[in-house]
Structure 1
Amino acid sequence: MPVLPAHHSNHSKILTRRHVHACVHPTRTRVCVCVNSLSPRRSSSSSSSSEEEEEEHVDDSVSLAQYDSTSPLTRFVVSALTTAIGGDAHGDEVGLAQKEDDLRPPVSPQDVRNAIERDFCEGNYLWTGDISMDVYDKGCVFTDPTLSFTGTAAFQRNLERLEPWIEKLVVDPRSELRGPVVLDDSQAFCEARWQMIGELRLPWRPVVNVKGRTRYTLDTSKGGRIVRYDENWELKASEALMQLVTPTTKASV
Structure 2
Amino acid sequence: MPSRKLNQELTRQSRYRTPKRAAQNRLVWLGNSRHSCLFSSVLQMKLTIEKEIWSFLLMGLGKIDRASVVETIKEDFQRSYFVTGNLTLDAYEKDCEFADPAGSFRGLSRFKRNCTNFGYLVEKSNMKLMKWEDFENKGIAHWRFSCVMSFPWKPILSATGYTEYYFDEQSGKVSRHVEHWNVPKMALLKQILRPSRVSMN
Smaller-chain TM-score bracket: 0.5 to 0.7
Pick from 142, 146, 151 the counterpart of residue 98 of structure 2. 142
The CA deviation string for residues 93-152 of structure 1, in whole angstroms up to 9 with x for no partner, is: xxxxxxxx949942111111111111112x221221211111101111000111311111
Pick from 105, 114, 117 the counterpart of residue 74 of structure 2. 117
Helix, strand or coil: the match of 1:114?
helix
Match of residue 243 from structure 1: 191
Pick from 146, 155, 158 the counterpart of residue 197 of structure 1. 146
Q: 1:201 to 1:234 in 2, by over 3 A?
A: same
Residue 148 of structure 1 aligns to which amino acid in structure 2?
S
List runs of 5+ in structure 1 lacking aligned partners: 1-100
TM-score (norm 1): 0.51
List runs of 5+ in structure 2 lacking aligned partners: 1-56
Q: Distance in 1 between matches of 2:58 and 2:89?
A: 15
Structure in which a larger fraction of residues adopt strand: 2
Q: 1:202 to 1:156 in 2, by over 3 A?
A: closer
Structure in which a larger fraction of residues adopt helix: 2
Pick from 81, 88, 101 the counterpart of residue 132 of structure 1. 88
Moved over 6 A (4+): none
Match of residue 108 from structure 1: 65
Q: Distance in 2 between matches of 1:172 and 1:103?
A: 44
CA RMSD in angstroms comes to 2.4
Conservation of the 8 A alpha-carbon contact between 1:126 and 1:196:
no
Map 1:1-253; keep pairs closer than 5 Å. Answer: 102=58, 105-121=62-78, 123-159=79-115, 162=117, 166-167=119-120, 169-179=121-131, 181-184=132-135, 186=136, 188-221=137-170, 223-248=171-196
The CA deviation string for residues 153-182 of structure 1, in whole angstroms up to 9 with x for no partner, is: 22234345x16xx33x42221111112x22
Aligned residues: percent identity?
27
TM-score (norm 2): 0.63
Q: Distance in 2 between matches of 1:126 and 1:154?
A: 13
Residue 146 of structure 1 aligns to which amino acid in structure 2?
A
Conservation of the 8 A alpha-carbon contact between 1:109 and 1:183:
no
The count of aligned residue pairs is 143
Residue 107 of structure 2 aligns to which amino acid in structure 1?
G
Q: Distance in 2 between matches of 1:241 and 1:102?
A: 45
Conservation of the 8 A alpha-carbon contact between 2:97 and 2:104:
yes
